[in-house]
Copies of this chain bind each other. A is one copy, B any other.
Amino acid sequence: MPADGDPGSEAATRALLVELLGEFWRRGWVSGTGGGICGPADGGGLLLAPTGVHKERVRPDEFFTVDPADGRVLRSPERADLRPSECSSIFCLTHRARGAWSVVHSHALAAVLAGDVAVAEGADHLAIRELEMLKGIPGVSNVDTHLVPVIRNTPREPELVGQLAAVLADPRFAASRAIIVRDHGAYIWGDDVLEAKRHTEVYHFLFEATVARRGRHMEERA
């Protein structure tokens, strides 16, 4: 299943992004044309899937290349009916704030329910603790309490940018590689595509475990 070819080439990155979109779709992390992923293009751009399409059906030649400095489209796919994902401004912001070359946008139910746990606890973040899987995040150990910011959803994704910039600058969340958007999902990133994949698997596990352990009390309070 792994993508073949030179792992450092843009062609290999495009193949890997396609493979991961299929995998995330099979797990219910992207669905209904929602969710997505970006990765590094040759020359310093970000490869970005088109909007409004079934993400598991995106082909390697259908990515846009955007300039992470300003979101400007550097290169478009040949298919004239495609437009770049609404995630563009958020992916570019995360790249500039954290140096992330790959960002995943998840629409998983576990991320939505994890946001509900934070809301029920009256917090602007999800506090995750007592889980070995925390060690999958750089600099975090299994004896730490790891804080993931939770922001409010907005009618359009670019309108999330202000809140995102605030939590990316908040020192309480310096270790987090994820931001939960209430009622919506999560953004999860890494230095490269395989690190973003690892963090995506790690945070989905952490969300599921936290919901399984604390979701009950949330509902009893509701």
- The chain A residues found within 8 Å of chain B, CB to CB, are 1-2, 22, 28, 31-34, 54, 56-57, 107, 109, 112-113, 116, 130-133, 135-136, 141-143, 153, 155, 181, 183-185, 194, 197-199, 201-202, 205, 208-209, 212-213, 216-217, 219, 222
Q: Which of A32, A56, A136, A217 has the most CB of B within 10 A?
A: A32
- Does the CB pair A2–B133 fall under 8 Å? no
- Does the CB pair A197–B54 fall under 8 Å? yes
Q: Which of A54, A132, A142, A184 has the most CB of B within 10 A?
A: A132
- Does the CB pair B32–A133 fall under 8 Å? yes
Copies of this protein in the assembly total: 4
- Does the CB pair B31–A205 fall under 8 Å? yes
- Does the CB pair B116–A213 fall under 8 Å? yes
